[in-house]
């Protein structure tokens, strides 16, 4: 049976490095607090003029080049983001225009930190049925333009970074490829991590009072998210492994969504695997939500941590709540 293989990977991170020391200029925080609680030392933030679609374009071009295909061989775009360039249309359409690929479908996926794995699942189904042959799957995020960088928003603002990661997916010619994907959500916790405004259910969607109250900034019940992530990530990894008839002893590398270094370390403990088996690049990029998994795949490959034939586990947890895992023979 056809499987979906990763043909090439690409990335883009903005040039502007924002260190924890830089954050102390705007909010009451410290390098020590952020490093101890999150493992983050620095993140990249866009400079004026850079958009999610433009970062995605750079990442996509690199992924196509690495896949050894020309851009016009891409027959579908799936793009995951929680920070679209505009409310509508989807950032996938802006990316499609930038890539010069009129006519091919462009689907935006809104599953926050799980957006990449949710999108992967859609792309995998399309490739296995033969509907599309070369799918560009991108995660791209611009958080920095929407953060409350005052002390009021420090719990969230210290976490997030900007960036884009892309992969080109196609049908495999051997036994490599995606073996299983498991997706979950629980909307009961939608307001534990969210941005309220602008919202079409508000009358009006946005006004000065909403802005004054800071309701256009992301809000998070950090401890709640933390606790749930520790429960759900190991659970969904076991579930996806079970589905593919494999176990943790078969796994070479786990790439979790880069939410917090302490979450990654504690998930490893709960799974009973070596810390070295868990990939981390949050130190330098922070939490880039839907872009974090493809950016981590890219870095893992660049560091020689992913070799042909390795068994790779991807796992995520985030706003929604959504959580997911994918098992892949690389």
Please, what is the minimum distance in Å from the beta carbon of residue 287 to ligand UT7?
5
Residues that bind ligand UT7 (CB under 6 A): 29, 33-34, 37-38, 113, 154-155, 158, 222-223, 225-226, 229, 259-260, 263, 287, 289, 318
* Residue number, 39 or 170, with CB nearest to ligand UT7: 39
Please, what is the minimum distance in Å from the beta carbon of residue 85 to ligand UT7?
20
Cα 55 to Cα 46, 58, 59, 77, 205: the distances in Å are 9, 5, 6, 15, 28
Please, what is the minimum distance in Å from the beta carbon of residue 20 to ligand UT7?
9
Alpha helix (H) residue ranges in the chain: 20-23, 31-38, 52-67, 91-99, 115-129, 154-157, 208-212, 222-243, 261-271, 282-285, 292-302
Task: With CA atoms as reference, report the closest residue to 194 among 267, 289, 284, 280.
Answer: 289
Please, what is the minimum distance in Å from the beta carbon of residue 128 to ligand UT7?
29
Contact status, residue 240 vs residue 183, Cβ threshold 8 Å: no
- Is the bond leading into 204 cis (omega within 30 degrees of zero)? yes
Round to whole Å and give the CA distance between 257 and 297.
Answer: 10
Where in the sequence numbering do the catalytic residues fall? 113, 257, 287
* Residue number, 215 or 262, with CB nearest to ligand UT7: 262
Q: Which residue is nearest to ligand UT7 (CB)?
A: 222
Contact status, residue 127 vs residue 328, Cβ threshold 8 Å: no
* Residue number, 195 or 246, with CB nearest to ligand UT7: 195
* Residue number, 83 or 180, with CB nearest to ligand UT7: 83
């Amino acid at each position: 049976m056809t499987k979906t293989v990763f043909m090439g990977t690409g990335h883009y991170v903005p040039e502007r490095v924002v260190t924890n020391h830089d954050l102390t200029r705007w909010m009451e925080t410290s390098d020590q607090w952020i490093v101890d609680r999150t493992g983050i030392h620095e993140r990249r933030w866009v400079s004026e003029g850079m958009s999610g679609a433009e970062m995605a374009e750079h990442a996509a071009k690199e992924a196509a080049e690495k896949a050894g295909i020309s851009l016009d061989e891409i027959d579908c775009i799936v793009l995951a983001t929680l920070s679209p360039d505009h409310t509508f249309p989807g950032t996938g359409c802006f990316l499609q225009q930038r890539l010069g690929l009129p006519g091919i479908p462009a689907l935006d996926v809104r599953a926050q930190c799980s957006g990449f794995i949710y999108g992967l699942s859609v792309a995998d189904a399309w490739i296995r049925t033969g509907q599309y042959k070369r799918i560009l799957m991108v995660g791209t995020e611009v958080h920095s333009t929407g953060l409350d960088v005052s002390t009021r928003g420090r719990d969230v603002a210290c976490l997030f970074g900007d960036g884009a990661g892309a992969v080109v997916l196609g049908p495999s010619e051997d036994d490599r490829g995606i073996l299983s994907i498991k997706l979950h959500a629980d909307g009961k916790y939608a307001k534990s991590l969210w941005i309220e405004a602008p919202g079409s259910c508000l009358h009006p969607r946005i006004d000065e009072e909403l802005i004054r109250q800071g309701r256009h900034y992301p809000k998070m019940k950090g401890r709640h998210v933390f606790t749930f992530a520790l429960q759900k990530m190991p659970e969904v990894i076991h579930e996806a492994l079970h589905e593919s008839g494999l176990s943790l002893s078969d796994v070479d590398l786990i790439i979790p969504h880069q939410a917090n270094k302490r979450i990654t370390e504690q998930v490893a403990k709960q799974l009973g695997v070596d810390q070295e088996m868990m990939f981390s690049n949050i130190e330098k990029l922070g939490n880039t939500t839907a872009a974090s998994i493809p950016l981590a795949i890219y870095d893992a490959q660049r560091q020689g941590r992913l070799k042909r034939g390795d068994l790779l586990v991807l796992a995520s947890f985030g706003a929604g709540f959504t959580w997911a895992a994918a098992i892949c023979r690389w």
